[in-house]
């Protein structure tokens, strides 16, 4: 295969960026040792930023976005994988400065590749994707810090996004009582249907006058937003509560005193799945293939590569929800 189809993000003369489906030469893929035929990918907020020319994500254009890929080994110069083997690649530099998974082919280092676990399909792997991997690491971090279903309610912020909805589904599957925080009123019934016991409007949550500490309300949290929402959540944790922090769309500043950590023993757990060690990723994928094997169709829309640019624009505009799986081959 000397030519392949992929989304191609290119800078225009006026400094804007355009992403369109193009036929490309295999030569653009670079020198890495493993060539993979991509059958499924997924869309993440980081892909939307890359497709819009965000230099903090991707420095070199033109570029193929897509931080997730699932497919079949075509050739491995390292000898670690056999042709025909099914694999998953998420994170590391894929879709950032290495051409990504929103195309028919990728070429990546062998050290980025996870063999597809038994009981997991390529499609389901991309229903999970980086969003589910991040949610899974966040839930595991809460468990490892003794936050169990009997501890109390878990607040999930940014609940209508990919990570948020994956977290709600997983927590509900594991028996936790989940409270969803969302700024999208139209998503209330959806969030209740996928496992939230109640939904709090973000404006209502943030309307209370700033205080050093708020009433102890939540045993734990998964925060995909950052900023003032995260501050309010930390101040609202029960004694020895933990919040897994994995997003910053709402801000990178954390205007916070030490009182929640000293007086209530609060813990803040940083989660970043993209550069997590490969063995950590394999652990999460094994859990999804076994104990975490829950329904995902209700939060997933399957689309073609042709429709991916439109969905990426919707993500930037805040008009998307849930997970988009991209079926690469028609």
pLDDT tens-digit profile of 114-159?
999 999 999 999 999 999 999 999 999 999 999 999 999 999 999 9
Which positions of the chain have pLDDT values less than 70? Answer: 1
Cis peptide before 166 (omega within 30 of 0): no
Q: Cα separation of 98 and 242, whole Å? A: 35
Query: Which of left, alpha, beta for 303 (phi over 0: left; psi -120 to 50: alpha)?
Result: beta
How high is the pLDDT of residue 97? 95
How high is the pLDDT of residue 250? 87
CA distances, 281 to each of 42, 90, 284 (Å): 17, 9, 5
Helical ranges in the chain per DSSP H: 45-51, 122-144, 162-173, 188-193, 202-206, 227-235, 259-263, 278-289, 308-316
> Closest by alpha carbon to 19, among 85, 105, 108, 102?
102
How high is the pLDDT of residue 218? 98
Structure tokens at 159: 């609940």
DSSP secondary structure code for residue 311 in this structure: H
How high is the pLDDT of residue 135? 98
Structure tokens at 242: 């933990």
Q: Cα separation of 5 and 27, whole Å? A: 13
Residues in the chain: 330
Ordered domains of the chain (ranges, CATH): 3-116+296-327 (3.90.180.10), 131-270 (3.40.50.720)
How high is the pLDDT of residue 329? 85
CB environment 158-192: b (16+ within 10 A), e (fewer): bbbbbbbbbbbbbbbebebbbbbbbbbeebbebbe
């Amino acid at each position: 295969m000397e030519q392949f189809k992929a989304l191609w993000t290119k800078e225009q003369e006026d400094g804007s960026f355009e992403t369109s489906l193009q036929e490309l030469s295999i030569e653009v893929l670079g020198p890495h040792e493993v060539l993979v035929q991509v059958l499924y990918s997924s869309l993440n907020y980081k892909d939307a930023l890359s497709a819009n020319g965000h230099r903090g994500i991707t420095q070199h254009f033109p570029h193929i976005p897509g931080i997730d890929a699932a497919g079949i080994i075509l050739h491995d110069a390292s000898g670690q994988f056999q042709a025909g083997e099914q694999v998953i690649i998420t994170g590391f530099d894929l879709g950032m400065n290495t051409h990504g998974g929103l195309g028919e082919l990728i070429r990546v280092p062998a050290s980025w590749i996870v063999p597809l676990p038994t009981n997991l399909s390529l499609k389901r792997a991309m229903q999970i994707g980086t969003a589910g991997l991040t949610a899974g690491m966040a839930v595991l971090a809460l468990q490892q810090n003794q936050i169990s279903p009997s501890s109390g309610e878990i607040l999930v912020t940014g609940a209508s996004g990919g990570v948020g909805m994956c977290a709600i589904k997983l927590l509900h599957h594991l028996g936790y009582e989940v409270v969803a925080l969302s700024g999208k009123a139209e998503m209330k019934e959806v969030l209740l249907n996928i496992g939230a016991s109640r939904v709090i409007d973000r404006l209502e949550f943030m309307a209370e006058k700033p205080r050093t500490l708020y009433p102890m309300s939540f045993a734990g949290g998964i925060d995909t937003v950052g900023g003032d929402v995260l501050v309010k959540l930390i101040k609202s944790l029960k004694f020895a509560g933990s919040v897994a922090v994995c997003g910053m769309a709402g801000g990178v500043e954390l205007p916070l005193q030490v009182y929640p950590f000293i007086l209530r023993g609060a813990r803040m757990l940083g989660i970043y799945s993209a550069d997590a060690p490969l063995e950590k990723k394999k652990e999460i994928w094994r859990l999804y293939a076994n104990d975490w094997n829950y329904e995902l169709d209700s939060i997933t829309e399957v689309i073609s590569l042709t429709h991916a640019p439109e969905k990426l624009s919707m993500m930037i505009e805040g008009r998307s929800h849930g997970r988009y799986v991209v079926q690469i081959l028609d």
